[in-house]
Chain A
Amino acid sequence: EDQVTQSPEALRLQEGESSSLNCSYTVSGLRGLFWYRQDPGKGPEFLFTLYSAGEEKEKERLKATLTKKESFLHITAPKPEDSATYLCAVQGGRGGKLQFGAGTQVVVTP
């Protein structure tokens, strides 16, 4: 069965203090790894899709990387508006089903 584990569960950062979130996974035949951010009471907002080991994607202060066993989401010089829960999901096997991790709750203080 596909499994996704995210760490840490929660992260408190000072504005400008860079850090990384981890997503480790076991899946038979990875077809895609997805990062989303979710604000309280809202639906997940798409950030990145990664398909193969070695792939990297960047968007503003965020950078996602992928290896054969894990993915990292690097937050560089975060701002308070980066506060959110970051979710990692994998797609493997048949169909489009996403298996989600529990998320990392990030709080950035001024």
Chain B
Amino acid sequence: KAGVTQTPRYLIKTRGQQVTLSCSPISGHRSVSWYQQTPGQGLQFLFEYFSETQRNKGNFPGRFSGRQFSNSRSEMNVSTLELGDSALYLCASSRTLDKDTQYFGPGTRLTVL
């Protein structure tokens, strides 16, 4: 069974640009969550989606947004990039939201110059 896939794996952008990251969950999984990982803050929750609806959102500014499609694939978008947005962005999928194990993808390494 294929795992969670994320594209692209690496990305370099400049301040002020916008970026879109993609995540394909494990087949049969309907929930997708996004996390930001930095050396200083560790793993921070961004948002989660289930059946195309955002169910929960972390404490990030409105520049961070996401969506989920009918096939459970998800995208997240960051507009007006700042240097501090440089991080590893991780996507995780699970069958449901409650009490269910989340399986992580390899991440997208975003560098903002």
Contact = CB atoms under 8 A, between A and B. Distances in A.
A, B: real partners: yes
Task: Give the interface SS of chain B, mostly helix, strand, loop or mixed.
Answer: strand
User: Which among A31, A32, A43 has the highest number of chain B CB atoms within 10 Å?
Assistant: A43
Interface of A: 31-32, 34, 36, 41-46, 49, 51, 87, 89, 91, 94-103
A44 B101 CA distance: 12
Given A31-B99, A100-B42, A102-B42, A95 B105 contact: no
Given A36-B104, A44-B43, A97-B45, 7 more contacts: A43-B107, A51-B99, A91-B99, A94-B56, A95-B98, A96-B31, A102-B42
Nearest to B56: A95
Interface of B: 4, 31, 33, 35, 42-45, 48, 50, 55-56, 58, 88, 90, 92, 94, 96-107, 109
Given A44-B90, A87-B43, A102-B42, A96 B104 contact: no
15 contacts: A32-B100, A42-B107, A43-B4, A46-B102, A46-B103, A94-B55, A95-B97, A96-B31, A96-B50, A96-B98, A96-B100, A98-B33, A100-B35, A100-B43, A101-B42
